[in-house]
Structure 1
Amino acid sequence: MSPQIPHPARVLVEGTRRAVRTARNRRSPGASRVPSQLTDITPAWLATALGKPVGSIRAITVLDSHSGTAARARIGVDADDDSIPDRLFVKLPPSDYPQHVLLDLFGLAEKEVLAYRALGEDPPVRIPRCHAAESDPRRSRFALVLEDLTATARFRTVVDTVSRAEAEAVVDAMADLHSVFWNSDRFAGDLAPLAHRPAFETHLGTMIRRLLLRNIKGHTADMIPEAVARACRIFYLRSAEMDTLWASLPQTLLHGDPHLGNLFFEDDGPGFLDWQIASAGAGIRDVAYFLTASVDPALLRTIERALVQRYVDRLAAAGIAVDGARWWTLYRAATTDWFLAAVCTAEAGARMQPLEVSREGVRRAVAAVEAHDSFRVLTALVDGR
């Protein structure tokens, strides 16, 4: 396939081809050494994935499991090696076929596997320890074996909110993450797949935005002022110019989807889950996304400027100088990222999130873009003003 896809028909053809490939691979569970479902997680496979001798794990017990954008399970492990944890968490391709197709269309599994490998044994932020990360894109397979956080971590959802102290801790962690990967040479090397989206993904994303945003009519349509609904069409009318804007800024490793449902908290601070949207990008986008999605608007309006400055100051302490006033303007524009995510999720209905969750997400998104006149600011930046 050529690097450029000039017509929507070619996007649809390629998307159909990938959907058929996914269906074919789901019917051939033994076609890859990477598991396709929970029953493929055998003692022998797990021992090999952990770098242990076959036979060192006697038995595996599924403690609980569910499937959404990925299949997830907690497993108990009976092993004769004390270095093997007796509880682990595994992620695999989703059981739902449409979710599996979505995963494949946007390379979400490969992004997450690559992110965990990039973060390594000594990550700059708290993440679940990654014991194994395997991927077979040709066969639509991936497997992550992670630390089970159940005993130590506290989890929340989008309807919850964080305190000022918690927001400060997350912003600090983001600055620590971003400073390590700031303009890293690795984005031209092993992390190149996170820095360069295939043309197919770019064009498909624009088509989906057009489909969902051209006429917002889902269960949150009543929450979105008409002027905001018109302004958000920039996401598909000028998507290429927006990409150029964000790519012109210093690039670092972004989590990409840091709302409360993808974070956890322990006594010593926050951690980050679910790296499926990981990419190279402008760090302020992670900050704006997290704060807009995760702090109640009434509190956020009183603390967000100080939090952006806190992020800038922490970068400076790591030897990275950025202009605080400029980064505040970029923050105001970047609040639109959560608007895009929240509205598109709501337009997809209960298949993606419970309705009360997506309504709260849209409420916070609208509050932010109205408070900051974000679409006007974004348009001015895209225009070079």
Structure 2
Amino acid sequence: MKQNILVHRPTDLSRRWAQGIVNHYAADAKVSDISIQSVSVGTSTRLRVLVNHDAPHIVPLRWFVKTPSLAIKSRIITALPRLLHKEVHFYQSLSKASPVKLPHILAAQTRCCHGSTLVMTDLAESGFTPGQPDDALSIHQARQVIKQLARFHAHYWNNRQLLQTHRWLSGFNNRAEHYMGNLLAVPLMKQGLKLAVNLVPINLHKPALHYAANRHRITQSLATGPQTLVHHDCHPGNLFWQDEQPGFLDWQLVRMGEGIGDVAYFLATSLKPDCRRAHEAELLNLYRESLTKHGVEEIDDKNLYQRYRAHLSYAFEAMIVTLAVGGMMERSSNIELIKRTSAAVYDHDSLVALSVGS
């Protein structure tokens, strides 16, 4: 699509803007009106809009538009590493070959120093049910997600050409993200623990601060296993459902990494602690079996568990940092996910083990 569709604020959503997108699919169609149904501001600004036009059999009427965050703190955190830029590139260059269900993209554009905009069909228009960040998934739902994660990871397993073919997966964006994460790790962890009050067991505070102080070394150690393409933010709010089958949203953090990191993040955020404890071993075994089914060989059970245990630390860090920054997730959802991830790292001594390992 050659038309400039970049949006910087909600008022940029004009009839003319929508007309250009509609005409890409139906040259003679006419847009009569566009109205904003809702605006949600977090790590990005998310707008649901109704576009009235005369070709609804070709182009949907309800759209979901994603633009850089209007919240200053969230925008600072996401702008330098250009997270939305990365998501646009994912949909433009990798989504067609993806083996998992993704939303239908109508238009996407990114320009250096000018921002990024993503336009997709509203999930409800396609008959999908969007997840919420604090959803507590059933064991049946968890099994479905684990099988799809394994399928996705196996598809890109040890694909060394990805970084060469898709340079946006590495380079400046990743360096900026790692630099900012390491620079802000200690103050954000301190602030997050302070705001969390009694949500995090007191005996996790010291190892959590140690983790933050040694974040650069620890994140390097968490990237030493077999490499594949990972979502890196697989919580319930980034899922959608159709006939009990999951789809995956929000690819701003997509990167090369260890597949078990996605599994750890998903189980720590998506299951109530008692449910996770009861089914964790089964789900890890299902992940290993599913990888094998899709052609990945030589998965060692003991090593898989140890890597899972280590990667739980990132899920915990992500939720604490989200609370510290503020405005990136509904506070009630953030609080619930802190409870879940705290329980996971506590159950497995994940932070303590990382502290001992330094």
TM-score, structure 2 normalization: 0.88
What does residue range 195-206 of structure 1 map to in structure 2 within 5 Å?
195-196=170-171, 197-206=173-182
Contact kept? 1:44, 1:55, Cα under 8 Å = no
Contact kept? 1:67, 1:96, Cα under 8 Å = no
- 2:312 maps to 335
Aligned pair 1:58/2:23, yes or no?
no
- 1:38 maps to 10
| Alpha-carbon displacement from aligned partner over 1:301-343 (angstroms, at most 9, x marks no partner) | 0111111111111111111122122111111111111110111
Quote the Cα distance in structure 2 between the aligned partners of 1:297 and 1:128: 30
Contact kept? 1:216, 1:229, Cα under 8 Å = no
Quote the Cα distance in structure 2 between the aligned partners of 1:219 and 1:336: 19
Q: Which amino acid aligns with 2:286?
A: R
Quote the Cα distance in structure 2 between the aligned partners of 1:130 and 1:163: 29
- 1:147 maps to 121
Q: Describe the SS at the equivalent of 1:188.
A: helix
Q: Describe the SS at the equivalent of 1:121.
A: helix
Aligned pair 1:272/2:248, yes or no?
yes
Q: Describe the SS at the equivalent of 2:194.
A: coil
Check 1:309–1:248 CA distance in 2 against 1; reply closer, same or farther (3 A cut): same
Contact kept? 2:123, 2:130, Cα under 8 Å = no
| Alpha-carbon displacement from aligned partner over 1:63-120 (angstroms, at most 9, x marks no partner) | 5121312222233240447422233222122333433333212211111112222433
Contact kept? 1:172, 1:311, Cα under 8 Å = yes
- Percent of aligned pairs with the same amino acid: 28
Contact kept? 2:18, 2:51, Cα under 8 Å = no
Quote the Cα distance in structure 2 between the aligned partners of 1:153 and 1:295: 21
What is the aligned counterpart of 1:209 among 178, 182, 185? Answer: 185
Q: Structure 1 unaligned runs (5+)?
A: 1-31
Larger CA deviation: 370-379 vs 248-257: 370-379
Q: Which amino acid aligns with 1:324?
A: D
Q: Which amino acid aligns with 1:191?
A: H
Check 1:379–1:323 CA distance in 2 against 1; reply closer, same or farther (3 A cut): farther
Contact kept? 2:158, 2:227, Cα under 8 Å = yes
Aligned pair 1:377/2:353, yes or no?
yes
Larger CA deviation: 353-362 vs 251-260: 353-362
- 2:211 maps to 235
Check 1:138–1:190 CA distance in 2 against 1; reply closer, same or farther (3 A cut): farther
Quote the Cα distance in structure 2 between the aligned partners of 1:361 and 1:252: 26
- 2:99 maps to 124
Contact kept? 2:146, 2:263, Cα under 8 Å = yes
Q: Which amino acid aligns with 1:285?
A: G
- 2:300 maps to 323
- 1:10 maps to none
Check 1:186–1:66 CA distance in 2 against 1; reply closer, same or farther (3 A cut): farther
- 2:260 maps to 284
Q: Provide the aligned length of Structure 1 versus Structure 2.
A: 349
Quote the Cα distance in structure 1 between the aligned partners of 2:117 and 2:83: 12
Q: Describe the SS at the equivalent of 1:219.
A: helix
- 1:307 maps to 283
Larger CA deviation: 280-289 vs 52-61: 52-61
RMSD of Structure 2 on Structure 1 (CA): 2.4
Quote the Cα distance in structure 2 between the aligned partners of 1:262 and 1:217: 25
Tell me the CA shift for residue 172 of structure 1.
0.6
- 1:174 maps to 149
Tell me the CA shift for residue 269 of structure 1.
0.5
Contact kept? 2:150, 2:287, Cα under 8 Å = yes
- 2:65 maps to 90
Tell me the CA shift for residue 216 of structure 1.
5.1
Q: Structure 2 unaligned runs (5+)?
A: none
Quote the Cα distance in structure 2 between the aligned partners of 1:115 and 1:36: 21
TM-score, structure 1 normalization: 0.83
Aligned pair 1:183/2:168, yes or no?
no
Quote the Cα distance in structure 1 between the aligned partners of 2:198 and 2:258: 32
Greater relative contact order (CA < 8 Å, ≥ 6 in sequence)? 2
Q: Describe the SS at the equivalent of 2:276.
A: helix
